[in-house]
Amino acid sequence: MKNISIISIAIIALLSSCKKELNLDLNTEENQRLVVDALFSTYAQEHVVKLNMTANYYSADSPEKISGATVSISDGSNVTPFLETSPGIYKSAANATATFSKEHTLTIDYNGKTYTAKNYCDTVPALDTVIAELYTGTGGLGGPGNGPPGAEPTGPQYEIKFSTQELVGFGDSYAWKIYVNGVLRNDSISEQISNNDEYLPDGTYFNEVQLTIMDDLHPGDTIVLAQHAISEETYDAYIAILFQTQFKGGIFDAPPANIPTNLSEGAVGLFSVTGEVRAYTVVP
C-alpha cells in the first residue's frame, strides 16, 4: 500500500506541475471574419447578398451587420451591382439574372479589403408539372407546415408532387424551394432536400414524385416550386453543414470541422450560382 501511495502522490505532483496556458482564438475583434450569404440564379428577380461579421465567442450581442461595402457579381461580360438597402442587406435590380453555363465572380470591397468568390452556373431541367392534391395515404412524410415530428395534422394533408427530366450525364445536383402565396416555406437546407444524381439511372424521368406533404394549405392557395441546379461545390457545402448540425447524435458522427467556403481573404460563408426554373399550381 505504501508503494501505491507514493506512486499516486508522484503522479499528482507531476500533473500539478504540467500547466500550460492555452490562448484560444475566441473571435475577439482582431480575429473577426466577414460572413457572406449570397445566392444568384437565372430566374429574373431581386437577389440578395447578406454581410455581417463573426461574433465574439463570449458576446451575447447579434453579429455586426456590414454597411458601406461595394458589392457586385460578374459573369465575365455583364456586371450586376448590389445596393445596400439596410445594414448588412444588399439587393440587385428586380430583374437581375445569372447566365447559364458561365462562371460568376462575386466581388466585395470593404474596409480596405477585396473579397472574391467564384461559382459556375449549371443548366437546369424544365419542370413539367407541379401538383397539389389531397393525401389519402398513411404515415405522412412531414414537411413545411406539419409541425413537430409525430404531431397530429392541423388540417387536411396535401401532397406536393412534381415531374421533371433529370439531365443526361452524371454530376448534377438539385435543390427545391416551395413558396405558398409568395412566402418561402422551406428555408432550411434539409427541407430543400438537396440531392445529386450519383446513384440514379442516367437521364431518369421523375413522374409525379412526392416532394413533401403539407397540412396547412387551403383551397385557392398558390403553390410555386422553384427547382435549382446547384454546383458540386454548393452541394458539398450543404452536406457539410448538415453533418455539422442535423446529422448528429450517433456513434458514427463526423468530427467537428470547418464548413467549406469559396470566399477569399479569410471570409466564411458561401456564394452560390444556380440555374432556376419555376412552376406553379393552385390548391383545389
DSSP string, 30-63: GG--EEEEEEEESS-B--EEEEEEPPPTT--SPP
State the sign of the Cα–Cα–Cα–Cα dihedral 257, 263, 265, 267.
negative
Question: How is residue 213 written as a grid cell?
Answer: 406533404
Average pLDDT, the chain: 83
Q: How far is Cα 51 from Cα 89, in angstroms, rounded to an integer?
A: 7
Residues 140 and 220 in one domain: yes
CB contact set of 270 (below 8 Å; sequence gap of 6+): 36, 37, 38, 117, 234, 237, 259, 260, 261, 262, 263
Listed residues 62, 89, 120: the one ending a domain: 120
State the sign of the Cα–Cα–Cα–Cα dihedral 135, 138, 142, 145.
positive
Residues 142 and 70 in one domain: no
Residues 165 and 82 in one domain: no
Residues 148 and 219 in one domain: yes
198 CA to centre of own chain: 20
Q: Is residue 24 part of a domain?
A: no
CB contact set of 85 (below 8 Å; sequence gap of 6+): 91
Q: 169 is in which domain, residue-wise? A: 127-257+276-282
Amino acid at 212: T
Tens of pLDDT, residue by residue over 14-58, are 444 455 554 555 555 667 899 999 999 999 999 999 999 997 766
Question: Which burial class, exposed, middle or buried, applies to 154 when counting CB atoms under 10 A from its CB (0-12, 13-18, 19+)?
Answer: exposed
Tens of pLDDT, residue by residue over 115-131, are 999 999 999 999 999 99
pTM of the model: 0.80
Kindly state the average pLDDT of the residues 191-206. 75
pLDDT at residue 9 greater than cutoff 60: no
Kindly state the average pLDDT of the residues 167-174. 82
Q: How far is Cα 105 from Cα 271, in angstroms, rounded to an integer?
A: 9
Question: Domain holding 131: CATH number?
Answer: 2.60.40
